[in-house]
A and B are shown apart, each in its own frame.
Chain A
Amino acid sequence: MTVAVTNRSLDGAKPVPEAGMELLLWILVWSELIVFGVLLGAFLLLEWLDPVALAALRETLDLPLAGMATVVLVSSGFFAARAAFGRQPRGNLLAAALGGFIFCALKIAAFTHELPALAAMEGRLGELYMLIVGFHFAHVLFVSGLLLLVAFRPTPRHVAGVATIWHLIDLVWLLILPVVYLG
């Protein structure tokens, strides 16, 4: 009787690691979205309150470079999606990671001429711009490294997880673009 109860108890308590990982992944995704949402909301508010600083910021930003970075990032998302749909995961993850690193190189090129002008700017808008774009840059760099790691030994679960995070980064950039660059 005791043995039977123990067995039933063990069966009943069997962990479901896939579901647990997925829940953690979505907690991570939504916490990131909330953080970026707050930052973008604050940026919109400051843009509204300080149009002079906004005009000064717009003059320093390089719109064609931001457009090129967008094209590179969504192309990288295309390769991550191909990997997640089971098509040559290793090659597609490597291509996605390469896209991430090219995006970072383009942002560094933009920062080199934006930073001196931003340092001379008064007000908080320039600092908030650097916080948003720098935080996103750090995400791209880190997850590009993760893409390389997963590409080394791709399992369906890891590929799906890293591709989800990569698409989140794509999505955040596509929301940064209208708030920060296109206004």
Chain B
Amino acid sequence: MRFPPVLPLPAVLASLFVATGLSLVAASVLPSGLRGPAIAALSLTKAMLIVLGFMRLRRESPVLAGALIAYATVVCLLAGARIALAGLS
């Protein structure tokens, strides 16, 4: 049985590559105050692309998909806050 993906898989993969490259660039060149929010946003984008693009959860169980994204949001926000605040101390 074939299940068509909601988002085209090659587009999801290309977006993941771009977000990964941007994360590495942000980690190398941005000052910590900007680096924290940038890395948090890019990491959350990647997590959402995995859950919504690669997994079939969005259609089969929106609650589980939402819970996974909420989990990723908490970790990314904490990581972003830690990076941003490190520059202030």
Q: Which A residues are closer than 8 A to B by beta carbons?
A: 26, 33, 37, 40-41, 44, 47-48, 51, 63-64, 67, 70-71, 74-75, 77-78, 80-82, 84-87, 156, 160, 163-164, 167, 170-171, 174-175, 177-179, 181-183
Across the interface, B27 reaches (CB within 8 A) one of A37, A85, A86, A182, namely A182
A74 touching B47, Cβ below 8 Å: no
Given A85-B9, A174-B46, A178-B40, the answer on whether A167 and B54 have CB atoms closer than 8 Å is yes
B20 touches A175 (CB 8 A): no
Interface flags, B51-89, vs A, CB<8A=1, else 0: 101111000000010001001100110111011001001
Looking at A51, A170, A178, the one whose CB has the most chain B CB atoms below 10 A away is A178
B34: CB under 8 A from chain A?
Answer: no
Listed in ascending order, the chain B residues whose CB lies under 8 Å from chain A are 1-5, 9-10, 12-13, 16-17, 20-21, 23-24, 26-28, 35, 39-40, 43, 46-47, 50-51, 53-56, 64, 68, 71-72, 75-76, 78-80, 82-83, 86, 89
The CA-CA distance from A40 to B17 in the complex, in Å, is 24
Complex CA distance for A71 and B19, rounded to whole angstroms: 10
A77 and B54 in contact (CB under 8 A), knowing A63-B27, A175-B43?
A: yes
Q: Is the interface of B mostly helix, strand, loop or mixed?
A: helix
Residues of the A chain whose Cβ atoms lie less than 8 Å from the Cβ of B26: 182
B38 to chain A, nearest CB (A): 9
Pick from B12, B21, B75 the residue with the most CB of A within 10 Å: B75
Partner of B78 from A41, A81, A85, A160 at Cβ < 8 Å? A41
B78: chain A residues at CB < 8 Å are 41, 44, 179
User: Interface majority SS on A: helix, strand, loop or mixed?
Assistant: helix
Q: Are A70 and B54 in contact (CB under 8 A)?
A: no
29 intermolecular pairs with C-beta atoms under 8 Å apart: A44-B78, A48-B82, A51-B89, A64-B24, A70-B20, A71-B20, A74-B17, A74-B20, A75-B13, A77-B50, A78-B10, A81-B54, A85-B4, A85-B5, A86-B1, A86-B2, A87-B2, A160-B56, A167-B50, A174-B43, A175-B75, A178-B75, A178-B76, A178-B80, A182-B24, A182-B43, A182-B83, A183-B79, A183-B83
A-B pairs, top 4 by smallest CB distance, nearest first, are A86-B2, A81-B54, A182-B27, A178-B79
Complex: how many Å from CA A81 to CA B7?
A: 11
Within the assembled complex, what's the spacing in Å between the Cα atoms of A33 and B68? Answer: 9
